Structure 1
Amino acid sequence: MSDLDISVVICVYTEDRWEDILAAVSSVRTQSRPALETLLVVDHNPALLDRLTKEYKEFELSGEVRVFANAGPRGLSAGRNTGIAASRGEVIAFLDDDAVAERDWLRRFAEGYADPKVMAVGGRTMPIWASGRRPAWFPEEFDWVVGCTYKGLPPGRVRVRNVLGGNASFRRTAFDAAGGFATGIGRDGDKRPLGCEETELCIRLTRARPDAVLLIDDRAVIHHRVPDVREHFGYFRTRAYAEGLSKALVARSVGADKGLESERRYATRVLPAGVARGLRDAVLARPGGAGRAGAIVAGVLTAAGGYVVGSVRARKGGATFSVVEIEGDHTGRGGSHD
């Protein structure tokens, strides 16, 4: 197992998730392999910043938990970049603010870094449905819609094109080689649920470091809360459309060949198999079969529509993003909220 120090960055933006944030931090503090530090980066919310600073004041003195204001523009990418710059670990892990990590989460990440060529290790994200169970119509192939690991990803510890941002880790040298997360691609608070910033970064990383290995280990597990609003078809459709917009930006940045490499396999193999299973379940009178098949078709068409619109906007210059070079002294002195 690697003996590298691991910093954990949790980006937060709303007091509505107060209890979730506390649970996320608690899950990091009780890891079987302790984190060097947990950094909470607050996205342009002074009230939440003050509240978290008071909550973790005693831990901030020891450096175990530190609270920062996002030093860049509003959005998840800039928040992550702020956390990277302020962190001290040789590996930086990212955890969603509405998720809790299993006890061996960081241990599994650390094991992946025994190979010096490994630049990133991701894990498996399981949904916690607000209603207590998966909606019958919701296909597992589209669990990425709610920020979770989707059906079609290979099991075990496997090499991948990109890790998934809410449950991922990177060597610090990965950011030295490729820069930080691109702003203008990922989420911005409660606005349209864009994504793919980690995909763009990972492709950029492997271009800068052709020998880099990126892994997903499905034993590095977190449990991600899915609120009620995201269990409805309206959100499903909105998120699928936003994914299409995001993929267009990624393709603009790194080219369609790499930007859509994994998506081609997903669209031509995983999704048709999902439709076939749904239709079979419908014939056998199993609950939700027809709904799952229909949702897959609708999701594909909606994402494709978003991709077309995003591509047109990109050609017209209506969509912009930028890559940030990460700067920091890695001592934790820069950007902290006093």
Structure 2
Amino acid sequence: MTDPGISVVICVYTEDRWEDILAAVSSVRAQSYPALETLLVVDHNPALKDRLAREYKETEGIRVLPNAGPRGLSAGRNTGITASHGEVIAFLDDDAVAERDWLRRFAEGYADPRVMAVGGRTEPVWASGRRPAWFPEEFDWVVGCTYRGLPPGRVRVRNVLGGNASFRRTAFEAAGGFATGIGRDGDRRPLGCEETELCIRLTRARPDALLLIDDRAVIHHRVPAPREHFAYFRTRTYAEGLSKALVARSVGASQGLESERRYTTRVLPAGVARGLRDALLARPGGAGRAGAIVAGVLTAAGGYVVGSVRARRGGRTFSAAPIQPAPEARPGSGGGSHE
């Protein structure tokens, strides 16, 4: 099998992350396995779109385009998928930088034609320079990072994590795109789980599909100072419960909560035990970590109950966009064009 061409999609929305966006693009340009193209999809921010268009006007292989759908991350990703030309589409958060072999590790995973998605490991970069003593590694998903409890190596998983992931184009042609109405959409509440819903829908459409995580495909994700505080932790875990309720509504609780059952019955109790042990040994943050795990479970459960009630009452809805085959490459489409 020939090495796949990989398009990289970076969804952006605010000029407050200008330096982060430039760093993300630079990390893609420095890959040992070159990207076919990099698409910067701007979420309903004309000023940012124009600024990025000027910044990369003469840069080969980078395109800047507006989100063609409703406001939000899912629609932005779908816009990038539709506009891209690669056999594989990779997604990188706009406040993250990829290690040099990031795309190479993704490409290696697709040597098996059954593989439809490959994700990687996301490491936090704390604004304060170090992990808050109370913040449990089991909840690093709160800040968009790989959490304790995921298996090491290159392993099969139910779903990849959206900020550091790749999909074969045929996966979207089989299952459709990311569902709008589940993930972040510009509201204050930090919803998520759109990649979980997509991956479950994909394995239903393609029962033979393999979804992998390779922990050698590493990115480093910036965690801003406000997200180091318990107030954000509480808000994010509650929003996760709301999102899980939407996923369960879409694909059923048996699949929608399959991984979460193991996580809550095995990983989290072990985390509480470690925290209490550290507290008894007078190690910093032990009691705080144990308490944060308990609080996170209870808050997420509360969000799930509320989300389930809203779903039964016909609340928030979502839909998965159909994805067309790759567009024909246009002259000059490999670099510097702005749509």
TM-score relative to the length of structure 1: 0.97
Aligned: 1:273 with 2:273:
no
1:305 corresponds in structure 2 to 302
Structure-1 residue corresponding to 2:180: 183
SS in 1 for 2:320: coil
Pairwise CA distance, 1:327: 3.0
Cα deviation, residue 188, structure 1: 1.5
Aligned pair in 2 of structure 1 residues 2, 149: CA closer, same or farther (>3 Å)?
Answer: farther
| Structure 1 residue aligned with 2:70 | 73
Output the amino acid matched with 1:57.
K
> Are 2:317 and 1:320 aligned?
yes
* Residue in structure 1 matching 2:100, options 95, 100, 103: 103
Q: Which residue of 1 aligns with 2:48?
A: 48
How many Å apart are 1:190 and its aligned residue? 5.0
Contact 1:122 1:164 in 2 (8 A): yes
Kept after mapping to 2: 8 A contact 1:245/1:310: yes
* Equivalent pair of 2:123/2:218 in contact (CA under 8 Å): yes
- Report what 1:88 is aligned to: 85
Q: Is the 8 A contact 2:4 2:107 kept in 1?
A: yes
Residue identity opposite 2:121 in structure 1: R
Decide which of 133, 149, 160 is 1:152's aligned counterpart.
Answer: 149
- Specify the code of the residue in structure 1 equivalent to 2:45: N
Aligned in 2, Cα 1:212/1:328: closer, same or farther, shift over 3 Å? closer
Q: Secondary structure at the match of 2:179?
A: coil
Distance in 1 separating the partners of 2:324 and 2:127: 39
CA contact 1:95–1:168 (8 Å) conserved in 2:
yes
What secondary structure, in the 3-state scheme, does the structure 1 residue paired with 2:196 have? helix
Letter aligned with residue 21 of structure 2: I
| CA deviation map 1:70-111 (0-9, x unaligned) | 000000000000000000000000000000000000000000
Measure, in 2, the Cα distance between the counterparts of 1:140 and 1:84.
32
Q: Matched residues in 2 for 1:231 and 1:71: separation? A: 33
Q: Distance in 1 between matches of 2:210 and 2:240?
A: 25
Match status 1:112 vs 2:115: no
Q: Tell me which moved more, 83-92 or 188-197.
A: 188-197
Residue 57 of structure 1 aligns to a residue whose secondary structure is: coil
Alignment of 1:1-338 (within 5 A): 3-59=3-59, 62=60, 64-189=61-186, 191-327=188-324, 329-331=326-328, 337-338=338-339
Cα shift at 1:52 = 0.4
Give identity over the alignment, percent. Answer: 87
Q: How far apart are residue 331 of structure 1 and its match?
A: 3.6
Per the alignment, in what secondary structure is the counterpart of residue 242 of structure 2? helix
Distance change in 2, residues 1:322/1:332 (3 Å): farther
Q: Deviations over 1:23-67 (max 9, x none)?
A: 0000000000000000000000010000001000112xx4x0000
CA distance in 2, matches of 1:175, 1:29: 25
Structure 2 unaligned spans of 5+: none
Q: Distance in 1 between matches of 2:309 and 2:54?
A: 47
Deviation, structure 1 residue 326: 1.4
Question: Deviation of residue 263 (structure 1)?
Answer: 0.1
Deviation at 1:329, TM superposition (A): 4.8
Deviations 1:228-272 (A, max 9, x none): 000000000000000000000000000000000000000000000
Q: How many residues align?
A: 334
Query: Structure 1 CA distance, aligned partners of 2:158 and 2:327?
Result: 28
TM-score, normalization by structure 2: 0.97
Helix, strand or coil: the match of 2:287?
A: helix
Aligned-pair CA distance for 1:191: 2.2
1: distance between equivalents of 2:88 and 2:186? 26
